[in-house]
Amino acid sequence: MNRYTPHLAILVILIGITQITILGQGVIKFESKGGYKSLDTASSALDTILDSVEFRPQKYDARYTWEKAISFPLEIVYLPVGLFFKGSKATIEFVDESKLIPRLKYLLTCDDGSCGVIPTYASLSGGGIKVFQRGWFVPESKLDLLLSVGPKRRQTYQLRFRYNKLFRKPISSNYLIRYKLLPDERYFFSNIETNESNFAHEQFTGEATFGKEIGKGRKLKAIFGLNVNNILEGRGKESDPTSESVESFPEATLPGLGEQVRFFRFELGVQHDSKNRPGNPSAGIEAEATTGIYSQIGEDKFGFYKGLFDLKYFINLFYNRVLILRIAGEMTKVVSSREIPFYYLSEIGQNGTIRGFERGRFRDQDMVLGSLEYRYPIWSQWANGIDALLFIDAGKVTPDIFNDNLIDNFNVSYGTGIRIWSLEGLVLKLEIGWSDDGMRIHFGLN
């Protein structure tokens, strides 16, 4: 595929999207070549989107050769977009008419909703199931078990217990035990994508989190945790002929390589959440600030602390169009003369940071990033809906966030996606991001 093809496709999609203009309740107007049409909103939102992306050029008495030359490749590029929306429309109509989701919910959950089985998927851990039970032994509690496997033998097993009335006080508690195996993680030794290696990261986590409300939408939390990390030899050239196992490099290059490292972790944080609704917020602020210390158990080779700040601001524009502004930063600093394991460095290049790069693409002690995201509805019914989104992410890693020119050498990606949400939260998310490294697809379920 030509390297400019994704960029051209995005440009054409944006042109189609910007043709849609909301005039007022009951009427939707879109512009085609040479004329306008009015549609009643009684037709479905997907019909509107479908109409907006179809080419219906008005016939002219005479058409210049250069106009034909420009229109033809755009129509070819636009063809899969139209087919995508037609397929999406047919799928949604089938799910809605067959009542597939209510039937699955009835099959997989208890009559009172206190227990059930939920399918899950995440780019990092793969696909699996989550089994939950509410009110287990005590009221206002929830027990859930997560089992998931993914490509390249990824595995995640997690047991979590939540209780909202610790010692009969308004103190929430969350206890977690998790085993995670990531056999094919990447480490890039420079900013060149091909200069990479791989390693296997095996981690056991035990964690207890306690929280207390300190006002409307504000919460204090304290986390006590134990982390056991094993960095094993990667799959090497068996998984990717262009990669080498990190075992080929000396430990001085990668602190923490080839040894088991155990950490005791203590974190303090504050959260603020003033969003107007959880699944599809259109206004409010979501912010978090945490600081924590990691101390090696049994030895004093490794020791460091982390500080994190993350702010999202939701702005309601018009007709359920939402703009999300995000700014975030992280610092990772050594304690005394100790070291930081390379897999605990700040990083960008994943679903939660810059969506056009591979996870772990850039690593250093500090990180800063910003994001701009635009969401607009394409279908809604009662408390459920589907939104489309456009985004641009930018960020960088640096040895010292305070002694660096933050406006230079930013890594940028942009993309699009869809979100399926309900009254309780986000159900499904599919995002496609582009960057200088190529295209990345991120998918999440429940």
CATH number of 178's domain: 2.40.160.50
| Highest mean pLDDT of the ranges 237-251, 271-285, 300-314 | 300-314
**Is the pLDDT confidence value at 333 over 50?**
yes
- Residue 321: other Cβ atoms inside 10 A: 15
**Is the pLDDT confidence value at 48 over 50?**
no
Are 203 and 90 part of one and the same domain? no
Per-residue pLDDT band for 147 (boundaries 50, 70, 90) equals very high
Domain stops at, among 83, 98, 113: 98
The residue with greater pLDDT, 428 or 49, is 428
Query: Which conformational region is residue 82 in: left (phi greater than 0), alpha (psi within -120 to 50 degrees), or beta?
Result: alpha
> What pLDDT does residue 302 have?
92
Domain of residue 35, residue span: 5-98
Per-residue pLDDT band for 293 (boundaries 50, 70, 90) equals very high
Are 203 and 277 part of one and the same domain? yes
Q: Is residue 430 part of a domain?
A: yes
In three state form, how does the secondary structure of 412-433 look? EEEEEEEEEECCCCEEEEEEEE
> What pLDDT does residue 315 have?
95
The residue with greater pLDDT, 88 or 439, is 439
How much of the chain exceeds pLDDT 90, in percent? 27
Torsional sign, CA 74, 76, 77, 82: positive
Are 175 and 61 part of one and the same domain? no
Residue-wise pLDDT for 351-361, tens only, equals 788 888 888 88
Domain stops at, among 62, 83, 98: 98
Gap between the Cα atoms of 296 and 301, Å rounded: 7
Strands 196-215 and 171-188: antiparallel
Q: Is residue 15 part of a domain?
A: yes
Domain stops at, among 64, 98, 132: 98
> What pLDDT does residue 282 have?
87
Tokens read off for 4: 């400019």
| Highest mean pLDDT of the ranges 46-60, 171-185, 191-205, 250-264 | 171-185
> What pLDDT does residue 27 have?
32
Closest residue by Cα to residue 51 from 79, 20, 78:
20
Mean pLDDT of the chain: 76
Are 216 and 93 part of one and the same domain? no
> What pLDDT does residue 334 have?
92
> What pLDDT does residue 221 have?
96
Are 173 and 59 part of one and the same domain? no
Are 273 and 409 part of one and the same domain? yes
Q: Is residue 120 part of a domain?
A: no
> What pLDDT does residue 61 have?
41
- In total, how many domains does the chain have? 2
Are 169 and 58 part of one and the same domain? no
Burial status of residue 79 (CB atoms within 10 A of its CB: 0-12, 13-18, 19 or more): exposed
Residue 433 pairs in a beta bridge with: 415, 440
Q: Is residue 398 part of a domain?
A: yes
Closest residue by Cα to residue 125 from 194, 69, 178:
178
Are 212 and 319 part of one and the same domain? yes
In three state form, how does the secondary structure of the chain look? CCCCHHHHHHHHHHHHHHCEEEEECCEEEEEECCEEEEEECCCCHHHHHHHHHCCCCCCCCCCCHHHHHHHHHHHHHHHHHHHHHHHHHHHHHHHHHHCHHHHHHHHHECCCCCEEEEEEEECCCEEEEEEEEECCCCCCEEEEEEEEEEHHHEEEEEEEEEECCHHHCCEEEEEEEEEEEEEEEEEECCCCCCCEEEEEEEEEEEEEEEEEEEECCEEEEEEEEEEEEEEEECCHHHCCCCCEEHHHCCCCCCCCCCCEEEEEEEEEEEEEECCCCCCCCCCEEEEEEEEEEEEECCCCCEEEEEEEEEEEEEEECCCCCEEEEEEEEEEEEECCCCECCHHHCEEECCCCCCCCCCCCCEEECEEEEEEEEEEEEEEEECCEEEEEEEEEEEEEEECCCCCCCCCCCCEEEEEEEEEEECCCCEEEEEEEEEECCEEEEEEEEC
Dmax over CA atoms of the chain, in Å, equals 84
- Residue 298: other Cβ atoms inside 10 A: 8
Q: Is residue 436 part of a domain?
A: yes
Number of Cα atoms under 13 Å in the Cβ half of residue 53: 23
The residue with greater pLDDT, 227 or 101, is 227
CB 255 within 8 A of CB 339: yes
> What pLDDT does residue 306 have?
95
Phi, psi of 331 (to 5 degrees): -120, 140
> What pLDDT does residue 194 have?
47
Are 89 and 172 part of one and the same domain? no
> What pLDDT does residue 239 have?
44
Rg (CA), the chain: 25
> What pLDDT does residue 9 have?
43
Closest residue by Cα to residue 321 from 372, 388, 380, 383:
388
Are 186 and 67 part of one and the same domain? no
Whole-structure pTM value: 0.70
Are 79 and 189 part of one and the same domain? no
Segment among 2-11, 180-189, 300-309 with least mean pLDDT = 2-11
Q: Is residue 156 part of a domain?
A: no
Residue-wise pLDDT for 370-417, tens only, equals 999 999 888 777 667 888 889 999 999 988 888 777 677 888 999 888
**Is the pLDDT confidence value at 180 over 80?**
yes
**Is the pLDDT confidence value at 95 over 50?**
yes
Per-residue pLDDT band for 29 (boundaries 50, 70, 90) equals very low
